[in-house]
Amino acid sequence: MTTNLALRREGPPGAVTRRTWLALVVLAAGLAIDTGSVAVVNSALPVIGQRFAMDDALLQWTITLYAATFAGFLLFGGRAADVLGRRFVFALGMGIFTACAAAAAVAPSAEVLVVARAGQGLGAALSGPASLALVTQLFPEGPLRNRALAVYTSVGASSFSGGLVLGGVLTDAFGWRSVFAVLTATSLGVLLMVHGVLPRGTSLAQGMDLQGAVLATLGLVSAVYGVGNASTNGWNDVRTWAPLAAAIVLLGGFALWEQRASEPLLPWTIFRSAPVRAATLAAVTFFTPVLGLLFFAPLYMQGMLGYSPLESGLAIVPMGLIVMVSANVAGRVLTRVGQRPLIVSGLLLIAAGVGALWTRTPVEGAYLPHVLPGIAVMSVGQGLAFAALTAASLTDVPLERHGVAGALNVTAQQLGGSLGVAALVTVSQAADTTANAAGVLDGYHAAYLAGAAVAVIGALVIALLPYGPRD
């Protein structure tokens, strides 16, 4: 049952003020920190590995454990935001992230660094759903909310490429510890602005469904852990299939528990909304090709074109700029055009950029004719689809459920990214039948085609299934 008094006191005012837009800046900054922290650390990984004498198997856990705790605690974070209050949970998440970023900056050993990264993932899982729910509370449904969501999503979508560049610059100029020092300073700055800028947020007079939270968290962590092992140990290794089998059991148990829980962590009624179902599918089929390309592109540019890590990061910068523009265009036309056309067209543009243009990259390629066109086309698609699917993920969902609804969509994004990239790596390895550069590139091209096929299938399903009167 909703606390109506809280809704009246803390709901969005009739007129959006400058303070409302300042609150959006704070929330978007929090999202940029959560998203960009993955990329900014990627650039520092080789130096971190040398400093602590970490082999590749241990080094990957600085990324994999962040992803595991982030994906694993998202649903819990969304439910906590709805029950305990959005501002409180956002501040708690940013506080945990800040403390763990500081611990990573002064980490004396590899073990401390890996644990600190896991803590950062937990903090991001708490702050992320709360921030999206606060955006929808601050801006009333309609054109203003669509514009706000466009700004919010464009910042999130472009922060990955920005993080790659920032990480390379900081590591080259000041060393790897400066990466975590900057994360600490920026997240602390966001945290200090929370109380004075953000509303407290709505809350539910319900329980947390701790049993469901435990099953979902353990299941999602096991799934991401297993997929992380697949990239280094293969799918037949016990360290891969055992966690994945456990994930199936745990998530199956979660589904059964939620059906009988009086106050479920994830109310199945959310899926009665056709836009929510479309947004969930779109999240998976969006992030499989996009993150797949962002995995293979640096390997191609550094391994075959001779780019430095910083140069390969700069080569991706146009992606962030184009996404920001196209997402804001999508936000302005969303009310008039509708969610589904933007999602479908965005997925098809992603498929064209990845499957039609990146498959033409040669061993001795050049940036302007071979790299930039694919980046440009898929980036337009990202901006169109991401803004629309974010709006769709909350459509027809009561305001007091926006925390868990947003968490559901981000969980789908994470699973699409982690499971999808692992599957594309498997496709690439299977298609690489030789040990030379041409064979490796054939593997990359096969992965691009597979990722594009996923996006096309997603677009077709969303286009053909019933959606709702708004489209």
pLDDT 10s digits, 58-70: 676 777 778 778 8
Task: Report the pLDDT value the prediction gives residue 358, as an integer from 0 to 100.
Answer: 95
Q: Which residues face 2 on adjacent strands? A: 204
pLDDT tier at 202 (50, 70, 90 boundaries)?
A: low
Q: From CA 426, how far away is CA 443, in angstroms rounded?
A: 9
Which residues is 204 bridged to in the sheet?
A: 2
- Is residue 213 within 8 Å of residue 265, measured between CB atoms? yes
Looking at residue 346, its pLDDT comes to 97
Q: Which residue has the tokens 């077709």?
A: 460
Q: Domain map of the chain by residue range?
A: 1-208, 209-264, 269-471
Residue 204 has pLDDT above 70, yes or no: no
What pLDDT is recorded for position 381? 96
Which band of pLDDT confidence, cut at 50, 70 and 90, is reported for residue 345? Answer: very high
DSSP 273: S
This prediction has a pTM of 0.82
Asked whether residue 3 carries a pLDDT value surpassing 70, the answer given is no
Q: For 239-258, what is the mean pLDDT?
A: 93
| Right CATH for 1-208 from 3.30.450.40, 3.90.1200.10, 1.10.3210.10, 1.20.1250.20 | 1.20.1250.20
Q: pLDDT tens across 323-340, in order?
A: 989 998 998 899 899 999
pLDDT bin (cut points 50, 70, 90) of residue 250 is very high
- How much of the chain exceeds pLDDT 90, in percent? 46
Give the tokens for residue 73. Answer: 């605690």
Q: Confidence class of residue 46 from pLDDT cuts 50, 70 and 90?
A: confident
Residue 41 is predicted with a pLDDT of 80
What is residue 6's predicted lDDT score, i.e. its pLDDT? 35
**CA–CA dist 305, 279 (Å, integer):** 37
Write out pLDDT tens, residues 137-191.
899 888 888 889 888 988 887 787 788 788 878 887 888 899 999 999 999 999 9
Using the predicted structure, report yes or no on whether residue 113 has a pLDDT greater than 60.
yes
Which is higher by pLDDT, 309 or 318? 318
What is the percent of the chain with per-residue pLDDT over 70, rounded to a whole number?
93
Question: Minimal CA–CA distance to 298: which of 212, 203, 208, 371?
Answer: 371
pLDDT category at 2 given cuts 50, 70, 90 is: very low
Distances (CA, A) of 302 to 159, 209, 296, 311, 357: 21, 47, 10, 9, 19
Exposed (0-12), middle (13-18) or buried (19+): which is 142, by Cβ within 10 Å? exposed
Is the Cβ–Cβ distance between 276 and 405 less than 8 Å? Answer: yes
- H or E segment and range at residue 317: helix 317-337
Of 15 and 381, the structure prediction assigns the larger pLDDT to 381
Which is the CATH superfamily of the domain at 269-471?
Answer: MFS general substrate transporter like domains (1.20.1250.20)
Residue 432, amino acid: D
Q: What is the mean pLDDT of residues 382-406?
A: 90
Angle, CA 41 vertex, CA 39 and CA 44 arms, to 5°: 120
Q: What is the mean pLDDT of residues 347-372?
A: 94
pLDDT at residue number 8: 34
Q: In one letter, which amino acid is 438?
A: A
Whether 384 shows a pLDDT value over 90: the answer reads yes
Please give the average per-residue pLDDT across 296-307, as a whole number.
Answer: 87
Per-residue confidence (pLDDT) for residue 12, from 0 to 100: 42
In the predicted model, is pLDDT for residue 94 greater than 90?
yes
pLDDT at 203: 63
